[in-house]
Structure 1
């Protein structure tokens, strides 16, 4: 009996140890790959801006700028086209996972969004929106002003769920992402007649004024950790190479010059806002250099194609207009930086997010 009891006790100990090891392994597998700084809590990830972090807000509005159809979402949760402008996850999803909040950041306007989704963050971003109010008007999408109104509504909903004190805690410890500017430059400034009276300096001033006011509004509503992305090298995305890169489809320099001008102004302005606003972490995110690095040194990051998108010919296909279920897609999207002619693949986003988190995490958190 004594031996049997000892054996039973030993067996129970082994089971408990196995359970503990399994729990530890599960914890490692479900936490962010990049460890958070000591004593740092991230409660939510909340997004504003354009298609780069729109997970489907455009699905239910009257606009042609939507992608809730194949082949978008080809590699997302079994091939579900959610409205994300990629083959898979987008930066808000990847960042939320890295900081151990959740795997996917849903669209605020998604009718299936529940209380827990709200408490851990949503995205208000709308594909083809921008800092220039005209940008969203031309594309019939959700302007930043409306995104801000939705955010105010969101705060009321969260307050109703958990009370004012907890809501302020969530906002204070959330990471806010603001991604805009590309559509202003590529679509409104260069491709419409509506801003023909502006030169690059005056137009980027218009963008800057709107960006500064928007960031200040977010701070006034309780945001403290704000990661504001600059404009990318927009002249090097496949569509702009096709439209303005000449016969060899080189990077279109005039687009990149305006992007760099805006970025220099935005970086300086965000530094001012950071110094002005108490307890803020308002950080300029240099996406221009990060994407330029992928385009210049693709093999270093496991890519083979940087001048074409995976969808269709890869030269001009964007959103529902051209990248649709009738178009062929490349055999392996992981070899491409771009999914369509404007938006990166999930692997492209993963490379960018990894670069940017390592560079900026300690500043944001």
Structure 2
């Protein structure tokens, strides 16, 4: 379907900027103080003022809501366990991983979508997500889904920086960008939708050359974030794609095993992405960019579910759990009675409980590597 031309942009009227500088100085000081109330122990005199997120549906919080695309979910039963039972556009029954990261770091309870028409100016000070369901590292992936592309998300980030400068000045903006946590989450749609589901791609690339292309595009994007001042960047590897319910259904055979070809492609890409990040970090001679392994922790949850209190690993909670995702998971779908028993909410995305566990793994293993 064709994407609407109408795009909500967050703007500030002249009254926003007519406030005396002392107001923004005080507000900035207060927001820095509040971010020190983190549940994660950080080094003394260290703050993470904001969380800024780029990616796909795993970390989208509603940027696709006003777009005529399949990859949106601002309707029930999505958000059934979110505060007030509101379907915000998060691909989950409740919160997603970036919400838990922000909450545990003492930044704020949730990370809003940058394109949310109800976004307040003060929300920018503590972070937003630019992510869009269906997006990928390579342009064709986002184009196929009608999603907000990598380059457009970067453009929104540049726009965001200018808004910050108008609010708190150039020096404080520089402080926010340099000390904030950045999280980058792409790759799943590139491998699943563009490579395996688009036959022409496999005529041009084999898995090895395609994952090399992805890892190179990822590196290019990370370098651009660094050039814009980002100094704490988490680059997320992708999950075991072959074990998500929809891939078990389509590619796992009659017994719905994990799809080996999808998992192998995911591991190959992760290895190349990790190697590229390590190489760049050595070149920069600082710990500004860190690779996050999401494959191993999710696979451990899937293979040892009882350890984490789960009972169902091969089905989504929504509908039959075999294939429902986005518009196929809707108000007419039956919902599993105990959502905390399920690793997956729909046939592609984890439940809020799973997101919380994955976020805790990031906080435990990676955050302090920046310091």
TM-score of the superposed pair, with normalisation by structure 1: 0.90
Deviation of 1:325 (Å): 0.7
Are 1:73 and 2:63 counterparts?
A: no
The match for 1:101 is 107
The match for 2:297 is 290
Equivalence map 1:140-159=2 (5 Å): 140-159=146-165
- Give yes or no for contact 1:45–1:105 (8 Å, CA) kept in 2: yes
TM-score of the superposed pair, with normalisation by structure 2: 0.89
Measured on the aligned residues, the alpha-carbon RMSD in Å equals 1.5
1:40 to 46, 49, 52: 46
1:315 to 297, 300, 322: 322
- Give yes or no for contact 1:311–1:323 (8 Å, CA) kept in 2: yes
- Give yes or no for contact 2:245–2:316 (8 Å, CA) kept in 1: yes
Distance 1:230 1:336, change over 3 A: same
Deviation of 1:114 (Å): 1.2
1:301 to 274, 296, 308: 308
- The structure whose Rg is larger is 1
Q: How many Å separate the matches in 1 of 2:200 and 2:332?
A: 34
- Give yes or no for contact 1:31–1:97 (8 Å, CA) kept in 2: no
The match for 2:88 is 82
The match for 2:14 is none
3-state secondary structure, aligned to 2:366 = helix
Deviation of 1:349 (Å): 0.5
Distance 1:31 1:307, change over 3 A: farther
Deviation of 1:363 (Å): 1.1
**Divergent runs of 4+, >4 A:** none
Are 1:272 and 2:279 counterparts?
A: yes
- Give yes or no for contact 1:53–1:125 (8 Å, CA) kept in 2: yes
1:213 to 212, 217, 220: 220
3-state secondary structure, aligned to 1:134 = helix
Report Cα offsets for 1:136-184 as digits up to 9, x if no partner: 0001110101000000000000110000000000001100000010111
Deviation of 1:280 (Å): 4.6
Distance 1:114 1:148, change over 3 A: same
Deviation of 1:302 (Å): 0.9
Larger mean CA deviation between 277-286 and 73-82 belongs to 277-286
Deviation of 1:31 (Å): 4.3
Unaligned runs of 5+ in 2: 1-32
Larger mean CA deviation between 299-308 and 276-285 belongs to 276-285
Are 1:55 and 2:44 counterparts?
A: no
- Give yes or no for contact 2:52–2:128 (8 Å, CA) kept in 1: yes
Deviation of 1:310 (Å): 0.5
The match for 2:126 is 120
**What is the aligned residue count?**
337
Q: How many Å separate the matches in 2 of 1:251 and 1:359?
A: 27
- Give yes or no for contact 1:294–1:301 (8 Å, CA) kept in 2: yes
Unaligned runs of 5+ in 1: 1-26
Distance 1:327 1:333, change over 3 A: same
Q: How many Å separate the matches in 1 of 2:322 and 2:254?
A: 12
